[in-house]
Amino acid sequence: MNRSYRYYDLILGAFVAVLLCSNLIGPAKVVQFDLPLLGPTDFGAGNIFFPLSYIFGDILTEVYGYALARRVIWSGFAAMAFATVMTWVVLAMPASPDEPFSAQLQPALVLCFGGGWRIALGSILAFCVGDFVNSYVLARLKVMTQGRHAWMRFIGSTVVGQGVDSLIFYPLAFLGIWSLPTLLAVMAANWAFKVLVEVVMTPLTYVICERLKRSEGVDAYDEGTDFNPFSLKS
């Protein structure tokens, strides 16, 4: 990072918090909403909050640029990987027989946090690839449009990024477990819901970006940026 910013670290922390909570707390519960045209529709609760991570990603790329957004994505990846390993280790350790609720607690922890390796791998890989695609598309669109049509950049990058996320996560996690029609239906419904959240939140995203640009004195354009996702250069 070539200079310090007042709010960059706060956005990084918020991004990682949303990401971890969405992937650790959210999958434990399936919710159902009666949606117009679709009727009763099931969602993993985490999907209601996970799109916020893409909104933070949009803000980071739009204001600070791809290179600094890339560092945040890798921070999120490291946090998710650590949380996954820690969860497996904690669940595998024997419970103390002196703990009065151990007989009830261990099965409850396994039920809530003991997702299979396919779900864990799918979550981490889908997040990482999807977020990099989202940031890359937004950064390139900003240069192509010369900073105009922010709404198009936010929504367009989310359509592509969330699409890639869904295409990676659901087959990795559930192919062979769910029937193919169910898999495709859930994938499409969740992708559409996440894009809808982005559309609804776009005016707020625009306001936050404009205020951050004025406060931080930065409005990054990724002209000549190295888009290598494995670099940590800022």
pLDDT tens digits, one per residue of 141-200 = 999 999 999 999 999 999 999 999 999 998 998 888 888 888 888 888 889 888 988 999
Answer yes or no: is 42 within a domain. Answer: yes
Instruction: Flag whether 223 is in a domain.
Output: no
- Spatial neighbors of 176 by CB under 8 A, at least 6 apart, are none
- Most confident of the following: 57-61, 94-98, 116-120, 193-197: 57-61
Percentage above 70 pLDDT, the chain: 94
The boundaries of the domain holding residue 199 are: 8-216
Contact between 221 and 147 under an 8 Å Cβ cutoff? The reply is yes
Could you tell me if residue 196 is inside a domain?
Answer: yes
Q: How far apart are CA 172 and CA 9, in angstroms?
A: 32
Give the model's pLDDT for residue 108. Answer: 80
Mean pLDDT of the chain: 87
2 pLDDT tier (thresholds 50, 70, 90): low
| 227 part of a folded domain | no
Amino acid at 24: L
Cα 100 off chain centre by: 38
pLDDT of residue 136: 97
**Residue 68 placed within a domain:** yes
CATH code of the domain covering residue 172: 1.10.1760
Question: What's CA 126's distance to the chain center, in Å?
Answer: 9
Contacts of 107 (CB under 8 A, 6+ apart): none
Residue scoring higher pLDDT (185 or 126): 126
Examine residue 222 and state whether it is found in any structural domain, yes or no.
Answer: no
Number of domain units in the chain: 1
pLDDT for position 219: 95
Higher pLDDT, 95 or 199: 199
pLDDT category of residue 139 using cuts at 50, 70 and 90 = very high
> Would you state the pLDDT for residue 1?
53
Residue 198 in domain: yes
Question: CA 131 → CA 29, 55, 70, distances in Å?
Answer: 24, 10, 9
Please report whether residue 158 resides in a domain: yes
Residue 62 · residue 142 · CB < 8 Å = yes
pTM, entire model: 0.88
C-beta of residue 135 within 8 angstroms of C-beta of residue 70: yes
